[in-house]
Every structure is written in C-alpha cells, then in structure tokens.
C-alpha cells in the first residue's frame, strides 16, 4: 500500500495512522460534550438542553414548513417551537423513524398506519448499507491491549501508569492504523468488478484493513493477541428501516 498522509484530505487509498479525538496534552479522549458543550453551557445564553426528553414528531404549518417538535419528558408531552429551522439529527435508525411518524416517507405505508402524509418520499428508510468484517487473530510476543482483560495484574498497572504519567496501554485507542485498497485487475470476477465500478466512485476503496492489538472477542487466558480486520467497502446488500406504529 502507498503511504498516505492521513485520510482527512479526501483520498482514502493507501495506509496511514488515523486521527482520534484524543487531547494530545492530557491524553484524555475528547467528546462533543467535553470539547464544545461544557464551554457553551458556561458562556452561551441561548442554549437550552432538555434531559430525559424524547422527540415524538416534527410539527409543520399549512405550507409544510417545520415549525417545531412535540416532545415527551418523563411521559409528559409538550411542544417546542422553532423561529428559523428544525435540524433533524437522530442517527441512522431514529432519523427515518422521526421522518415517517411526522408524515414524510412512503405514502402507502404511512397511510396504513393512519399517519397524515406531508411528503411522499419513497426513499426514507431505504438503501441502508453495512459492511462485512472479518477479524483473524493471532498470538504475539509483545504486550497488547488483550492483556487488559486477560491478565488481572495488567489493568491496575495500566490505570496507574495513565493516572500518574499519562503513558501506557490506556493512552492508545487500539485501532489506530488503517489501510484502504481498490481491487486490482484479476482480483475479482469480471462481472463483480464491473458492478463495483458502475455503482461506486472511481476512487472508492473496495477493501479496508484495520490493525488492532487486541481480539474482537475478549480472551481471558493472559496471552497477547493481534488482529487484522478486513472489511468489504462495496457491499451490494441493502436493508430498510421502517415503522410499525404511528408513535415513537
């Protein structure tokens, strides 16, 4: 594989260490909460967060413009209005669910559930894709992350090293070296290669490889393990997310 300078520039073909959300000074894992939310809560006067609250559906006016949401807090339903816009960011499963219970989705299915149709969009919840991953694992003679679960002495030592010196096993996320490869002539059947070339961009990788100094299934025998996972990046299988009621 050619060496790549990370994968943030849009070029996925090659091998490289990947970027992790770890603070280089504290060696602590950063999240959206620790990096942005806490500061925003202290400094912003226009941010409100409602805990234990589930969005039930998006509300619309007569012109089908989103005007707010109906939510449930500890079983009590109420409404939140929006002056400008409603941003739906509920994940791969909840986003299509919210769209459909709000009346956006395949018309026939929504009508079967008694949901007023706001927009007949047959693609909502369709074309779901997932990757197939294999993870061959072998024992190695150097210390690896598998020791954290497999050796009762390793974890306390690793915690102490991390807390006192910010070094050791717990400073490494484990999966930190990736490679992406596009199929070469003769590697696949001609018909399969032609299907991939027709369905995906020219620079889209066919396979990805992930180096992991651990096992995918925890082992408790005290040995050190290394795994090299391989994932198919061009699956043709497609799934769906749909709803069976008009409620969330």
User: What is the band of 53 on the pLDDT scale with cuts at 50, 70, 90?
Assistant: very high
What's the confidence (pLDDT) of residue 143? 85
User: What is the band of 124 on the pLDDT scale with cuts at 50, 70, 90?
Assistant: very high
- CATH of region 14-28+132-232: 3.30.560.10
What's the confidence (pLDDT) of residue 27? 84
What's the confidence (pLDDT) of residue 63? 93
CB atoms within 10 A of CB 14: 17
Domain range summary for the chain, segments of one domain joined by +: 14-28+132-232
Asked whether residue 160 carries a pLDDT value surpassing 90, the answer given is yes
Asked whether residue 198 carries a pLDDT value surpassing 90, the answer given is yes
% the chain with pLDDT above 90: 57
Asked whether residue 57 carries a pLDDT value surpassing 80, the answer given is yes
What's the confidence (pLDDT) of residue 173? 80
Question: What pTM was computed for the model?
Answer: 0.79
């Amino acid at each position: 594989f050619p060496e790549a300078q990370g994968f943030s520039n849009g070029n996925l073909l090659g091998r490289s260490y990947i970027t992790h959300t770890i603070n280089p000074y504290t060696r602590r894992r950063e999240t959206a909460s620790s990096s942005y939310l806490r500061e925003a809560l202290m400094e912003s006067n226009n941010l409100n967060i409602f805990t234990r609250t589930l969005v039930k559906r998006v509300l619309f006016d007569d012109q089908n413009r989103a005007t707010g949401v109906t939510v449930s807090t500890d079983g009590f339903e109420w409404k939140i209005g929006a002056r400008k816009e409603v941003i739906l960011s509920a994940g791969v499963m909840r986003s299509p669910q919210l769209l459909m219970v709000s009346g956006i989705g395949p018309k026939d299915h929504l009508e079967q559930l008694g949901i007023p149709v706001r927009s007949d969009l047959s693609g909502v919840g369709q074309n779901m894709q997932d990757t197939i991953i294999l993870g061959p694992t072998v024992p190695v003679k150097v210390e690896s992350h598998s020791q954290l679960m497999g050796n009762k002495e390793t974890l306390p030592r690793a915690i102490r090293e991390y807390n006192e010196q910010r070094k050791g096993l717990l400073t490494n996320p484990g999966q930190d070296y990736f490679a992406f490869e596009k199929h070469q002539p003769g590697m696949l059947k001609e018909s399969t290669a032609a299907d991939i070339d027709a369905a995906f961009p020219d620079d889209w990788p066919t396979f990805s490889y992930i180096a992991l100094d651990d096992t995918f299934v925890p082992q408790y025998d005290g040995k050190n393990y290394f795994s090299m996972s391989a994932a198919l990046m061009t699956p043709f299988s497609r799934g769906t997310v749909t709803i069976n009621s008009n409620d969330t």
